[in-house]
Chain A
Amino acid sequence: TQLLEQSPQFLSIQEGENLTVYCNSSSVFSSLQWYRQEPGEGPVLLVTVVTGGEVKKLKRLTFQFGDARKDSSLHITAAQTGDTGLYLCAGDTGGGNKLTFGTGTQLKVEL
């Protein structure tokens, strides 16, 4: 079983601050996805990264895939209360579209 560790597990910050969430594994992934989940809902895809070293930007969110395709990071600039949620990374080892999900990072952004 591939293990995807996310850090930190919990993060509580003030609006306007920057933050970075990390997703680490000893396994190599053919692609990695980031999801955000709000209470009572299923996860919603934010981005997919597939190339080692790839950087993708989605407004104030910046996603990076590690050169060795074993790790990834999510950076949020000037966090807003609407960014509050559970952030999940998920890696695909390339077999049968089975994603392995990370342990999750619960983010709370307060005024």
Chain B
Amino acid sequence: NAGVTQTPKFRILKIGQSMTLQCAQDMNHNYMYWYRQDPGMGLKLIYYSVGAGITDKGEVPNGYNVSRSTTEDFPLRLELAAPSQTSVYFCATFGWGGAAGSEKLFFGSGTQLSVL
């Protein structure tokens, strides 16, 4: 199992450009999340989804959009990129899995985005 896969790993955008960050999971988890993390800081929730067809805003949703047409995929769309959106973006799922067998967050390896 690949777990949570994010693409691309790095991206540089010009101000005003748009892009989609991809996130795919093969663990059949219903809950999926998008977080952003600024250097040396904690994670802030952008959007989340409790299942296919259902999405909701997190703490910092402005400037972003999401969709959840399937259980597996949860893309994050940036419209009109701004320098304030320079950050590392993490996709995560919540559910059972792993060696410890506990219910927890599983993270992708992140997308480093710079808006110049």
Stretch in B63-71, B77-85, B107-115 touching the partner:
B107-115
When chains A and B are docked, how far (Å) is the Cα of A33 from the Cα of B42? 13
Interface residue A103 (Cβ < 8 Å from any Cβ of B): yes
Interface residue B45 (Cβ < 8 Å from any Cβ of A): yes
Count of CB-CB pairs between chains A and B under 8 Å: 61
A103 B42 Cβ-Cβ under 8 A: yes
B42 A98 Cβ-Cβ under 8 A: no
B91 to A: closest C-beta gap in Å? 9
When chains A and B are docked, how far (Å) is the Cα of A106 from the Cα of B56? 31
Q: Which of A9, A41, A44, A97 contacts B94 (CB 8 A)?
A: A97
B40 A104 Cβ-Cβ under 8 A: yes
Given the known interface contacts A40-B109, A40-B110, A42-B107, the answer about A98 and B90 at a Cβ–Cβ threshold of 8 Å is: no
Please give the number of chain A residues whose Cβ is less than 8 angstroms from any Cβ of chain B in the complex.
Answer: 26
Question: Which residues of chain A come closer than 8 Å to B1, judged between CB atoms?
Answer: none
Question: Which residues of chain A come closer than 8 Å to B98, judged between CB atoms?
Answer: 45
Question: Which residues of chain A come closer than 8 Å to B58, judged between CB atoms?
Answer: 98
A4 B42 Cβ-Cβ under 8 A: yes
Residues of B within 8 A of A (CB): 4, 31, 33, 35, 40-45, 48, 50, 56, 58-59, 90, 92, 94, 98, 100, 102, 104-105, 107-110
What are 7 inter-chain pairs, A to B, with CB distance below 8 A?
A9-B40, A48-B104, A96-B31, A100-B45, A101-B35, A101-B44, A102-B42
